[in-house]
């Protein structure tokens, strides 16, 4: 698994309302020192997670080079890394595009998440500290505030990041990196397959998971997390069918 920066790392101001794609990238471009390739990777990842870049969007090298004021070589490195992370597809002679994950890939991503995350919360229920519970409560409050003010990029980011926060609490960087990658790919999948799960429902499910963790109830936490991931997956339109108007007009959400 590659070293893709987390959506959280990519957005230091993740709890405020982010601006448009170009503004997000411009902020990243001017944000302090650090490896330029990684900053480009982080900006594009954040834009995907926050639904600013849709699957299939062309990522023109020269435009990105202009935004970041860097050479096309550095942009190409970033696009190569995003391609290894499966967020970008490189097409010979045509260039780079935001990836369009297949139905099979979507199923596999959610299968791996269920395996990893159920093991993860089981362990966390045994080791969680009061300080970690407090951190999770704070994260939930931020989620809820973003849901209430209908801050779509903010809530999408926070709801996805919840899973990475859980992973980080086990002090296992390999696990945290894997979760970051899987959560970013899940965001892309949700964009592709139009999840109809509401942000309110996801938020409530996160609260129930944290309640169980606080009680150190490993069985309940594991079951609630599995139920949550299943409802995220179930609410994707992985089975193509003719949409009816009610479905089409329902609010679109990710996890
Ligand atoms: Zn979730």
pLDDT digits (tens, 9 = 90+) for 96-141: 999 999 999 999 999 999 999 999 999 999 999 999 999 999 999 9
Ligand 1 center to 94 CA (angstroms): 35
pLDDT category, 18, cuts 50, 70, 90? Answer: very low
What is the distance between the alpha carbons of residues 163 and 177, in angstroms, rounded to a whole number?
11
pLDDT digits (tens, 9 = 90+) for 206-220: 999 999 999 999 999
Within 10 angstroms of residue 134's Cβ, the number of other Cβ atoms is 11
Ligand 1 center to 62 CA (angstroms): 36
Ligand 1 center to 40 CA (angstroms): 26
Domains of the chain: 7-98 (1.10.10.10), 103-249 (1.20.120.530)
> What is the pLDDT, as a whole number, of residue 11?
39
What are the angstrom distances between the C-alpha of 176 and each of 1, 27, 127, 163, 237? 11, 25, 16, 9, 28
Ligand 1 center to 242 CA (angstroms): 27
Ligand 1 center to 207 CA (angstroms): 10
Q: What percent of the chain has pLDDT over 70?
A: 80
pLDDT category, 19, cuts 50, 70, 90? Answer: very low
Task: Please state, rounded to an integer, the average pLDDT across all residues of the chain.
Answer: 84
Contact 5, 38 (CB under 8 A): yes
């Amino acid at each position: 698994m590659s070293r893709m920066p987390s959506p959280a790392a990519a957005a230091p101001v993740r709890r405020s309302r982010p601006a448009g794609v170009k503004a997000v990238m411009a902020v990243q471009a001017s944000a302090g020192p650090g490896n330029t390739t990684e900053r480009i990777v982080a900006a594009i990842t954040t834009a995907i997670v926050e639904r600013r870049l849709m699957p299939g969007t062309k990522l023109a090298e020269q435009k990105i080079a202009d935004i970041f004021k860097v050479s096309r070589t550095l942009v190409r490195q970033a696009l190569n890394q995003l391609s290894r992370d499966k967020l970008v597809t490189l097409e010979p002679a045509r260039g780079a595009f935001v990836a369009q994950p297949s139905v099979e890939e979507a199923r596999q991503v959610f299968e791996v998440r269920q395996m990893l995350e159920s093991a993860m919360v089981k362990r966390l229920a045994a080791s969680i500290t009061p300080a970690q519970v407090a951190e999770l409560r704070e994260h939930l409050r931020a989620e809820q505030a973003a849901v209430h003010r209908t801050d779509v990029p903010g809530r999408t980011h926070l709801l996805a990041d919840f899973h990475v926060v859980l992973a980080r609490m086990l002090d296992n960087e390999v696990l945290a990196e894997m979760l970051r990658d899987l959560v970013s790919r899940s965001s892309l999948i949700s964009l592709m397959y139009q999840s109809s799960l509401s942000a309110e429902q996801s938020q409530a499910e996160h609260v129930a998971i944290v309640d169980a963790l606080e009680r150190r109830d490993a069985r309940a936490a594991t079951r609630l997390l599995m139920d949550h991931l299943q409802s995220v997956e179930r609410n994707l339109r992985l089975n193509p069918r003719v949409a009816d108007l009610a479905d089409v007009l329902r609010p679109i959400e990710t996890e």
